[in-house]
Structure 1
């Protein structure tokens, strides 16, 4: 049974109470999970548009939680800017938190790629200015500082992730928690390394725009079991229609958990390229609680109305951090031409942060609170 309100619970959850909080400011997303007994997990990072600080740690502090003492794990599902803004600040503040990331992201191919496009000093640089690579380069620099202060840090706190990797587990008399990665697959790992190598600029090539990858099949999808309730957190993983990558690889895996999720964070902002009929049929309960973040601006805002209609036709219980409604203002043709020639990406400035908060101790009684612009659809 669901109980819904438009007021976020600012009292910290009890030791046997669990929470899933999803944040979306329109140009980013992150998830905060309470795993019971004061232990927390953060998935991805985005900034509060007003304070320019990570929303996840701001929220934890607002309910009386000290992130450096309470955050057990930070999962960076992939390196796109809308999922990692502010992550370097979290890594810096939470120096004893496990940092999990797709295995390809600290291999030489990706580090060379960062060097070419980030403008950081992790290796020789061509001096570029791309937000995604700059942020991840900051993460790498912060990790290097932790390792310099404690050489064992990389063994104790850094976790490269592939499919079937156990991320967190706790089992005792009254609690059973199991969190594992369902992706990336082995082929996605190797494909990612080839992609990063292919994107390296050639000699004397001073491009400052990274060629857009055709699809995202290297993101970490998480399976979370908390006692009798299961969550499927879809990140931005896309469906590739290949047997060894994307959602097809997860569905076909004999190692994946065979239970069905009752809470589903929809992948890739509800976009059709993240949709898999097999996932809905084989991995998700009938009419689960569905959570969705929007992405506003860039090449187009998602989810589209058609995406929302498609999802609600499968499961009518759908909550979204913000429904994209903003349109670019109309300007004179000369102004539009100048903007297109000088600006890579435009979006409507919006200081509102949507927050969907789920709390429960008994899986049959879930309290869903929405802070506008987050809403049920």
Structure 2
């Protein structure tokens, strides 16, 4: 039985569901007419269940026919764990990966140089290798290549009107051409390092390769930020704002990079988003790192009164509490503590447009 809501959306309703922060975050989008896309993956660290699959099965979705695309935005575990399971289950879906990490050099690294650091991590390698295997298997079976490479301003899905359901476009806003070039340079440098050349290993950040998406259906525009950053120059939001000019702004924004200040760009609010849009955030929890911080939460709350998060920050305990908790060890853990439990935010709006209805399923909450 699904851990999430089992109420499917009506055919004429657009939906964005955000799950997090188990191990990762995941976005599930209903485009209308029982047409879905899945962006990234989130796995429950206790049950090992993949949240997107659990939710879609729970609402009666035919994964083999109704999921039209699975997008793996970039090679970081906090967006990638379980993505190969989603690809396997959604057998008719187009498989989208970043052009910056889908070139011949990277394929060679995946197969032969798994221990090269600075490109990505081993767990993400395993997911990538499985995705490549599935793409190749389906190519042999059907004669068609189900994989697509995302890059700036590339239309990934262009769906026609289906009965009363309007046409849909899913557009990749990134990575930029410069981001792709930087990735190729980093991969080539690491290959030389592996071959024994006297060169330093690259520390290329996979977030630079991240795929931000613009989804337009009927009277609805949505911006999905993945982990795209402000820059560097010629990359990130700076490149998107220079190269993409929508006719109408988005009314919902899935905040980039877990709401981190590294992804904040004032140009989004003036050029891509309506005044006071709905903002959905899946935080990052890892070790001593907790994003967004109070300062980062304030950044959103000062710009909209409709900001939501899949799991609130746990208050930082004082030193005395931490000292006593350390003595108790595992006995100090509260099984009902929401910290680390996957929350679910579900935003729905008629495909004709209008006001979003945002529902939060514990521990998800509105930001104040």
Query: Which bracket does the TM-score occupy, shorter chain normalised?
Result: 0.7 to 0.9
State which drifts further: 192-201 or 176-185.
Answer: 192-201
**TM-superposition CA deviations, 1:249-302 (whole Å, max 9, x none):** 11111x542321110111101111101111111111110000111000156221
Per the alignment, residue 246 of structure 2 pairs with: 257
Per the alignment, residue 138 of structure 2 pairs with: 146
Distance 1:129 1:18, change over 3 A: closer
- In the alignment of these two chains, the number of paired residues is 341
Task: Tell me whether 1:248 sits opposite 2:238 in the alignment.
Answer: yes
TM-score (norm: length of structure 2): 0.84
Per the alignment, residue 129 of structure 2 pairs with: 137
Per the alignment, residue 335 of structure 1 pairs with: none
Per the alignment, residue 19 of structure 1 pairs with: 15
Per the alignment, residue 296 of structure 1 pairs with: 285
Task: Tell me whether 1:58 sits opposite 2:49 in the alignment.
Answer: no
Q: Please say if residues 8 and 370 of structure 1, whose CA atoms lie closer than 8 Å, have aligned partners that are also in contact.
A: no
Task: Tell me whether 1:185 sits opposite 2:176 in the alignment.
Answer: yes
Matches of 2:100 and 2:278, distance apart in 1: 32
Q: Report the CA distance between 1:240 and its aligned residue.
A: 1.2
Distance 1:177 1:149, change over 3 A: closer
Ranges in structure 2 where 5+ consecutive residues have no aligned partner: 325-336
**TM-superposition CA deviations, 1:178-226 (whole Å, max 9, x none):** 2111111111111111122323452479xxxx97535722211111112
Matches of 2:227 and 2:121, distance apart in 1: 24
SS at match of 1:282: helix
Distance 1:222 1:49, change over 3 A: same
Matches of 1:313 and 1:356, distance apart in 2: 21
Per the alignment, residue 155 of structure 2 pairs with: 166
Q: Please say if residues 215 and 238 of structure 1, whose CA atoms lie closer than 8 Å, have aligned partners that are also in contact.
A: no
Task: Tell me whether 1:91 sits opposite 2:87 in the alignment.
Answer: yes
Per the alignment, residue 266 of structure 1 pairs with: 255
State which drifts further: 277-286 or 41-50.
Answer: 41-50
Distance 1:350 1:141, change over 3 A: farther
Distance 1:79 1:331, change over 3 A: farther
**TM-superposition CA deviations, 1:142-178 (whole Å, max 9, x none):** 323323433x231xx2111111111222343741322
Per the alignment, residue 101 of structure 2 pairs with: 105
Q: Report the CA distance between 1:51 and its aligned residue.
A: 3.0
Per the alignment, residue 341 of structure 1 pairs with: none
Q: Report the CA distance between 1:330 and its aligned residue.
A: 5.9
Matches of 1:279 and 1:86, distance apart in 2: 30
